[in-house]
Structure 1
Amino acid sequence: MSDLLLDVRDLVVRYGPVTAVDHVSFTLDAGETLALNGPSGCGKSSTALAVLQLRRTDGGEVRFEGRELTGLSERELRPLRPRMQPVFQDPYGSLSPRHRIRDAVAEPLKVQGRWNPADGPDRVAELLDRVGLDPSYGDRRPHELSGGQCQRVGIARALASEPRLLVLDEPVSALDASVRAGVLNLLADLQDELGLGYLFICHDRAVVRHVADRVVEMRDGRISSG
């Protein structure tokens, strides 16, 4: 029996007179990877932002774990946000250059009121280890890490919230091919271990074939096939 995690129906996103997402519908189960594939400007990232409610919708429904998100206030969304986390394309841009890695990973715990000074550092070390980084990397700053290492830090930050859904927006497109494979293998291992659902935004068909259980093709804001 499937565990429906995300149910998107007739989603519409407009920017002024331009319709970026035009009545897009799809579902995602826990433990499944659904790829949104298509060229730049086709509406993939706007769809991802709308799912996360980082961009308000102009029509349709986004149901996460059975709850309708569209129309909720930010106060109502706040307790739901930890369970649906983004991982963005730019591994360096996602991290403050002023903060040490341990502080970047700890930040979600502090923002959500779940930081305990007694065991918080051990939790950060555990998260870094889980994404394949030595806990000593916590003392470094982003410029001291490679792009692949920074993306692993971004994944660790997302995992700190104990999510059920990761929205991965071109998470490996800025990485070299050899590094890309390592990050994709990490994501696969985490999904097997934690039962995460992945909404995977990608323009690269080779990557999509490697990671996706199902593929939704987008063109000009619409689903062309699925």
Structure 2
Amino acid sequence: MNHPPAHHPLLEVRDLVVRYGPVTAVDRLSFTLDAGETLALNGPSGSGKSSTALAVLQLRRPDGGTVRFEGRELTTLTERELRPLRPRMQPVFQDPYGSLNPRHRVRDAVAEPLKVRGAWHRSDGPARVAELLDRVGLDPSYGDRRPHELSGGQCQRAGIARALASEPRLLVLDEPVSALDASVRAGVLNLLSDLQDEFGLGYLFICHDRAVVRHFADRVVELRDGAGTGRVT
């Protein structure tokens, strides 16, 4: 008798621990995230939100626990073994200007992930960059500009286009709208919702604003007391 394959969450974190010297930033935190779902990490400054994000992305190796992405344990992999997985787990950071190289034009920033994963071709590469910019609501002509020539919202959209160029399955959104004006913030959140519907992306959404979390997230992990312990609601 044939059995259907077991379902694996897109992301599964168990008993995660992150320490900085004697300080425990994240203490045995556990949660799961499915494709097409938004899970928010909500809490005040110092509650372990960004430390959790870095550990999920393996940009900061955790001191304990497990991180499984698409069923594969990440914490035991070498950097060389992680390299082919990294395009599938992309961050979008709080500072839209800091996430892009100020010396590069936007089109070069968006093209870079295509080149890294061998998907850049002279014949259709520029058209692919233009398509990505258009998909995030930017006129392709903005590709000729440098980050400082864009508004904060435009720059964040360019950063999202850059993340999409890697064809990710998971976006780790670290306060992606907290630096934006309210009207611009709504537009970026709507864009993210549309992209999730279109591509089935999973979002780990880090945010301190409860109103934004209630509007945007499917489930919430509440972090508090600086220890990173939490509950899923």
TM-score of the pair, normalised by structure 2: 0.95
**Which amino acid in the other structure matches residue 97 of structure 1?**
P
> Given the alignment, which residue of 30, 34, 49 partners 1:29?
34
Determine the structure 1 residue equivalent to 2:91. Answer: 86
1:51-73 Cα distance to aligned partner (Å, 9 max, x none): 00000010000000000000210
One of 186, 195, 219 as aligned partner of 2:191: 186
| SS of the residue 1:114 aligns to | coil
After TM superposition, the structure 1 stretch with the greater mean CA deviation from structure 2, 118-127 or 107-116, is 107-116
**1:96 corresponds to which of 93, 101, 114:** 101
Structure 1 portions without partners, runs of 5+: none
Residues 156-190 of structure 1: CA distance to partner in whole angstroms, max 9, x if unpaired? 00000000000000000000000000000000000
Equivalent of 1:221, from 217, 227, 231?
227
Contact 1:32-1:213 at 8 Å conserved across structures: yes
| Residues 1:208 and 2:205 aligned together | no
- For 2:163 and 2:217, the matched residues in 1 are separated by 20
**Counterpart of 1:124?**
129
Residue 116 of structure 1, CA deviation: 1.0
Could you list the per-position Cα deviations for residues 30-75 of structure 1 after superposition, in whole angstroms to 9, with x for gaps in the alignment?
A: 0000000000010000000000000001000000000000021010
Rate the CA distance shift 1:3–1:190 in 2: closer, same or farther, 3 A. Answer: farther
Q: In the TM superposition, what are the counterparts of 1:47-196 in structure 2 within 5 Å?
A: 47-196=52-201
Q: In 2, distance between residues paired with 1:77 and 1:159?
A: 19
Percent sequence identity over aligned pairs: 86
Q: Distance in 2 between matches of 1:6 and 1:97?
A: 32
Tell me, in whole angstroms, the C-alpha distance in 1 between the residues paired with 2:227 and 2:125.
43
Question: Does residue 45 in structure 1 map to residue 79 in structure 2?
Answer: no
**Root-mean-square deviation (Å):** 1.1
Partner SS, residue 4 of structure 1: coil
Counterpart of 2:19 in 1: which secondary structure?
strand
User: What's the secondary structure of 2:29's corresponding residue?
Assistant: strand
Q: Answer yes or no: is the 8 Å Cα contact 1:2–1:29 preserved in 2.
A: no
Deviates more, 1:164-173 or 1:13-22: 13-22
Partner Cα distance (2:47, 2:214) in 1 = 19
Specify every segment of 5 or more residues in structure 2 that has no aligned partner in the other structure, as ranges. Answer: 1-5
Q: Which amino acid aligns with 2:136?
A: V
CA distance in 1, matches of 2:163, 2:227: 27
TM-score, normalised by the number of residues in structure 1: 0.98
> How far apart are residue 3 of structure 1 and its match?
5.8
C-alpha distance in 2, partners of 1:167/1:110?
Answer: 22
Amino acid at match of 2:42: N
Which amino acid letter does the alignment assign opposite residue 159 of structure 2?
A: G
Per-residue deviation, 1:2? 6.4
Cross-structure match for 2:24: 19
Aligned length: 226
Matches of 2:7 and 2:46, distance apart in 1:
32
* Counterpart residue type for residue 225 of structure 1: R
CA distance in 2, matches of 1:221, 1:6: 21
CA offset at residue 113 of structure 1? Answer: 2.3
